[in-house]
Amino acid sequence: MLEFVTLATSAAHALASADTVTAPVAAVASYAPIGKGIAFGVAAGGAGIGIGLVFASAIQGIARQPEQSAALRGLMFLGFALIEALALIGFVTIFIIR
């Protein structure tokens, strides 16, 4: 029984050694560039779709009610600015990912 306890203790010490703990961390860190690319791709793609929808809706609204073009144009640029800000937040996020 004492041999089993000694073997189990030495196995636990081997699992807790620095080499076995840092190996998975290094493996995960090697995937960071892939994660950065995916994060920026999703942010840019989402912003592109959002901007397209904003401009399409504004053009459709102006075509339906030309007298409201000034109000719709202002809202269109406000929506564009907010969506672009979200894209920039996505761009900054890739520098935060380690």
**16 & 47 share domain:** no
**21 & 35 share domain:** no
**5 & 42 share domain:** no
Give pLDDT tens digits for 5-61. Answer: 455 566 555 555 555 556 666 777 788 888 888 888 888 999 999 999 999 999 999
DSSP annotation of 79 reads H
Give pLDDT tens digits for 50-87. Answer: 999 999 999 999 999 999 999 999 999 999 999 999 99
**45 & 77 share domain:** yes
**42 & 57 share domain:** yes
CB burial class (10 A; 0-12, 13-18, 19+) of residue 47? buried
CA angle 54/94/25 to nearest 5° reads 145
Provide the H-helix boundaries in 30-68.
32-64
The parent domain of residue 8 ranges over 1-25
Q: How far apart are the C-alpha atoms of 47 and 36, rounded to whole Å?
A: 16
Number of domains in the chain: 2
